[in-house]
């Protein structure tokens, strides 16, 4: 089965969401430069120092999410990752926790402070409550931690309808015209109604972090951040992050077009992809190149009526024809180490570059309102270094041809909807960083498979050998179907061919 998952990590999808440690980090200069499972870590949210209560402004919670989707283009069956026993999965979902408090149903800011009281706390000491909802639009959740309050199967989510929008037109003076409770959105698979954030590695007395991990497990690297500790109340579980992983069947958004002995990489999606890196390792040959962004190719190029259309592309040389002078074993090892170190450093620079989301004067906050659309990807240095360390082997040490790119935050919001809630005294600033790793792209087969896809598309009678070749190289053939569809070829026939050739996937329970 060829799938992709997010490390939000870790959504291996693991997406890693970390909450920032100190507010001054907002003003840091950031302008320098699985098929394996991806992890998703919603890394812990960092607690910002509080301003005086008299200001009446809600205070920001910085949230960072990172994840990696991986695809093996060789056509081999994907090996599912092995998780620690305490991780919950769709096969072992466990018993949901019994938190009865729902953050998004807390009272909104009415603009009036009833019974004003003045308390003093050391900055960042008091726990902050947040709620989290996650959905995989093109797949289903298959692992998470800590335990959720609600887990819905893919079948349940498929039948769910959007919730009725609350009427906010009436005055909302507390105790006079309270808003009705925020409705549950049954389209979300994983729901944490109430998580507690505490500074640093301090967990509530009733919650504990798991310590029964192998010495070199990736979770140790994922914990090496300045994030708050997050715990799930009655569940008794604490971590430096919220972890969620999902299976995504949509596939990568790139296509490699053979151009004689050379190649062009094009973006067949609808969103720009960023920080595109190509790495080729074969025998003694070591080649890498990078572009900052690759816009999507225009839709229906053949029908543009403008003559020859220009398609944005990343052009590559004749990689399979490259020759190098033979190196000794020690020289080759040194060359490899230097290349990996160079690429890891460049990756960290890419992930930490960009601006910062500045705090705003936010008032009249309703906890039922999730964060706005995501526009930023930037991670903190420790987060980026942890991601690079965890994914070093997959990104930089695989033989053959590898393409790595970063998805746009807008696409992540579409593919993996994420709602974050908190009380009226705080608001969410979210960055989302999703990488896609494409391993073992069979360069020697590109021309053959490209031509087979063309014949299946153009001729009425399909040759069995063409069908078999495309089935054995499903990711490649799907990438060409996406390319031909963007060019303006018959979408109905392409969709029919794609469905016919698609391998069987696991039916989510």
pLDDT in tens, 214-238: 888 888 898 888 888 888 887 789 9
| Per-domain boundaries in the chain | 4-163+184-251+343-439, 445-501
Paired with 405 in beta bridges are 436
pLDDT of 168-181, one tens digit each? Answer: 665 555 445 566 77
Distance CA 136, CA 412 (A): 10
Question: How far is 269 from 250, CA to CA, in rounded Å?
Answer: 11
Q: pLDDT tens for the chain, 509 residues: list them.
A: 444 444 433 332 333 333 333 333 333 333 333 333 334 455 544 444 444 444 457 788 888 899 998 899 987 766 666 778 888 888 888 888 866 666 665 554 433 222 222 111 224 556 888 899 999 998 888 889 999 999 999 899 999 888 877 766 655 554 455 667 777 889 999 999 998 888 776 666 677 888 888 888 888 898 888 888 888 887 789 988 999 988 888 889 999 999 988 999 999 999 999 999 999 999 888 999 999 999 999 987 666 555 567 899 999 999 999 887 777 788 888 888 999 999 999 999 999 998 777 777 777 778 888 889 999 999 989 999 999 999 999 999 999 999 999 999 999 999 999 999 988 888 888 899 999 999 999 999 999 999 999 999 888 777 889 999 998 898 999 999 999 999 988 888 888 888 887 754 334 44
- Of how many residues is the chain composed? 509
CA distances from 242 to 122, 141, 154 (A): 25, 14, 20
pTM over 0.75: yes
Q: State how far the Cα of 46 lies from the Cα of 436, in Å rounded to an integer.
A: 26
Please name the residues in contact with 470: beta carbons below 8 A apart, sequence gap of 6 or more. 449, 452, 453, 456, 476, 477, 501
Residues 384, 348: Cα–Cα separation, whole Å: 5
How far apart CA 109 and CA 336 sit, in angstroms, is 57
Question: Any alpha helices (H) in 353-416, and if so which ranges?
Answer: 381-390, 392-396, 409-415
How far is it between the farthest Cα atoms of the chain?
82
How many Cα atoms within 13 Å fall on the side-chain side of residue 345? 7
201: left (phi over 0), alpha (psi -120 to 50) or beta: alpha
Computed from CA positions of residues 483, 484, 487, 491, in that sequence, does the dihedral angle turn out positive or negative? Answer: negative
| Residues 6 or more apart whose Cβ sits within 8 Å of residue 28 | 356, 380
């Amino acid at each position: 089965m060829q799938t992709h998952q997010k490390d939000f990590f870790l959504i291996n999808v693991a997406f890693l969401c970390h909450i920032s440690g100190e507010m001054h980090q907002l003003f840091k200069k950031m302008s320098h430069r699985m098929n394996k499972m991806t992890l998703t870590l919603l890394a812990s949210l960092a607690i910002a120092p509080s301003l005086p209560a008299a200001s009446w402004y809600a205070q920001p919670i910085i949230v960072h999410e990172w994840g990696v989707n991986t695809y093996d283009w060789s056509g081999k069956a994907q090996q599912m990752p092995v998780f620690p026993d305490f991780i919950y999965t769709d096969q072992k979902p466990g018993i949901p926790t019994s938190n009865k408090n729902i953050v998004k149903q807390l009272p909104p800011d009415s603009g009036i402070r009833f019974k004003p009281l003045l308390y003093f706390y050391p900055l960042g000491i008091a726990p902050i409550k947040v709620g989290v909802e996650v959905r995989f639009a093109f797949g289903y959740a298959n692992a998470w931690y800590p335990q959720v309050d609600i887990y819905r199967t893919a079948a349940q989510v498929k039948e769910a309808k959007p919730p009725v929008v609350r009427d906010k037109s009436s005055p909302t003076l507390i105790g006079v015209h309270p808003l009705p409770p925020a409705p549950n959105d049954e389209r979300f698979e994983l729901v944490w109604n109430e998580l507690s954030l505490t500074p640093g590695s301090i967990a509530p007395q009733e919650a504990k972090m798991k310590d029964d991990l192998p010495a070199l497990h990736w979770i140790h690297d994922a914990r090496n951040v300045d994030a708050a500790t997050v715990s799930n109340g009655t569940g008794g579980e604490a971590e430096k992050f919220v972890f969620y992983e999902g299976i995504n069947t949509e596939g990568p958004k790139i296509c490699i077009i053979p151009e004689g002995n050379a190649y062009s990489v094009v973006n067949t999606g609808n969103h720009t992809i960023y920080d595109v890196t190509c790495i080729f390792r074969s025998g003694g040959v070591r080649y890498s190149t990078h572009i900052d962004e690759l816009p999507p190719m225009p839709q229906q190029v053949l029908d543009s009526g403008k003559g020859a259309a220009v398609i944005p592309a990343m052009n590559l040389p004749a990689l399979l024809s490259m020759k190098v002078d033979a190196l000794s074993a020690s020289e080759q090892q040194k060359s490899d180490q230097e290349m990996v170190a160079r690429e890891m450093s460049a990756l960290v620079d890419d992930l930490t570059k960009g601006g910062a989301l500045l705090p705003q004067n936010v008032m009249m906050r309703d906890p039922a309102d999730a964060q706005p659309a995501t526009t930023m990807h930037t991670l903190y240095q420790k987060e980026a270094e942890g991601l690079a360390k965890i994914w070093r082997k997959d990104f930089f040490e695989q033989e053959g041809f590898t393409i790595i790119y970063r998805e746009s935050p807008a696409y992540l919001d579409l593919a993996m909807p994420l709602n974050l809630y908190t009380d009226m005294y705080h608001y969410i600033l979210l960055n989302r960083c999703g990488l896609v790793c494409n391993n073992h792209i069979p360069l020697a087969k590109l021309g053959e498979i490209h031509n087979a896809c063309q014949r299946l598309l153009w001729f009425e009678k399909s040759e069995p050998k063409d069908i078999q070749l495309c089935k054995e190289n499903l990711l490649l053939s799907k990438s060409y179907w996406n390319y031909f569809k963007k060019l303006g070829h018959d979408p109905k026939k392409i969709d029919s061919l794609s469905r016919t050739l698609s391998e069987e996937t696991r039916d989510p329970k």
